[in-house]
Amino acid sequence: MEPAQQQNLKTSQWRESLRLGWRTLIGRAYPRIVSAAREPDWVFYEVALPVLQVIAFGFVYKSLGRPQYTGFVVLGGAMLAFWTNVLWSMAGQLHWERQTGNLELYLMAPSSMLWILAGMAFGGMVATLFRSIVILLIGSLIFGVTYQIVSAPLLILIFILTMVALYGLGSMLSSLYLMYNREVWAIQEVMQDPISLITGFYFPVRALGGIIGGLASVIPLTLGLDGMRQMLFPQLGQSFLPPGIEIAILGVLALLFLVGASWSLTYIEKLAKIEGRLSLKWQ
């Protein structure tokens, strides 16, 4: 075969692979977005309960004579919806798919598992975004929160990097959870409240100190929340790190988690297709 023909063949294969991946992404995102409107009871759990937490912490700050910090609480409550979605709908997703019998279909599909999880992440992100906006609006109206946007482009960049890193982390954890079988439930329950504390959902992460705040920065929401608060509440001056440094760290975290997700999912596919198992040997 001529070099030009080989190049054309590779280009054609690459385009077909990209087309298949895109269709897989849309196909997996669609059920997440549509199901959000078809399950009204989920709206209660994912909107009403976070709003109650926001109201509780908001009144705590008001009773302490610090009503200016209610904006921190409202934004943290809105971002909590994304963390809940990542922890329960991304990290544990492959484990639940195995329970329902769908995992075998995913592994036999011609598309990569990365595209499948990318579709789940995108669909979950879009569905959660609407609920997060509702939480933000309700909390802002109740406590009369005002925002002073320092830089809209930086705010959008921080949010996008946070979402990419966060859902990359969820994709990586999904394969790890799958290998640990039933322990996934205990792991998720243990992680929920401590992560909510150290990432500073309802208070500035600066209050935790440099060491704990630095360790908590491994979780993208820590720096993401701090960066967005700096862009929205500059008058409070409770920043943990300068925005430029936080953006750089979030970019590195996004890259690391995406590479980790790719490696772990490739490993899972190898176990399933070559060795015929989906858990560690010692289990």
Q: Which residue reads 């401590």 in tokens?
A: 194
> Any idea what the Cα angle at residue 199 is, between residues 193 and 203, rounded to 5°?
95
Alpha-carbon span 111 to 108, nearest angstrom: 9
**Cβ–Cβ contacts within 10 Å for residue 20, how many?**
15
Half-sphere exposure of 109 (CA within 13 A, CB side): 21
Query: Over the stretch 146-192, which tens digit does the pLDDT of each residue have?
Result: 888 888 899 999 999 998 898 888 888 777 777 766 666 677 677 77
Q: Which amino acid is at 92?
A: G
* Whether the Cβ atoms of residue 146 and residue 74 lie closer than 8 Å to each other: no
* Whether the Cβ atoms of residue 117 and residue 93 lie closer than 8 Å to each other: yes
Cα 123 from chain centre: 11
Helix-helix angle 152-179:220-232, to 10 degrees: 160
* Whether the Cβ atoms of residue 117 and residue 172 lie closer than 8 Å to each other: no
Q: Which tokens in the block code for residue 220?
A: 């993208």
Residues in the chain: 283
Mean pLDDT by 10 residues, the chain (283 residues): 61 75 81 71 72 84 81 85 76 72 74 79 82 86 86 90 87 75 67 77 81 85 89 80 90 90 79 62 45
Domain ranges of the chain: 13-275
